[in-house]
Amino acid sequence: MSFIWCKILMKIKGLFTKKPSKKLTWNPEDYSLGKSWAKTQPHPFIKNKTLWDFVYDRYESVNTIDNINKYLFNEF
């Protein structure tokens, strides 16, 4: 898929996804909210990737939530 289509799809998905307004905690609802939001945001460095690819830690979900919180509240 081309870069433009990826950007368009992220924008459309972003219209239906709520941005977290508070720090996410470790529970399934917050994890799902953070995941769905991060998948609608562009990767900070690589084209055709999402923020989820940048913050996801496959070994520990707590680290993933912490990374999303850092990005949401400019703590990077």
Is the pLDDT confidence value at 76 over 70? no
Which range marks the domain in which residue 47 is found? 3-72
pLDDT tens digits, residue range 30-46? 999 999 999 999 888 98
With the CA atoms of 42, 1, 9 and 40 taken in that order, what torsion angle do they form, in degrees rounded to the nearest 10? Answer: -30
Specify the pTM. Answer: 0.83
Is the pLDDT confidence value at 62 over 70? yes
**What does the pLDDT read at residue 63?**
92
CA–CA dist 61, 43 (Å, integer): 19
DSSP state of 50: B
- The number of domains in the chain is 1
**Six token digits for residue 45:** 């460095």
Interior angle at CA 75, CA 71 and CA 76, nearest 5 = 70
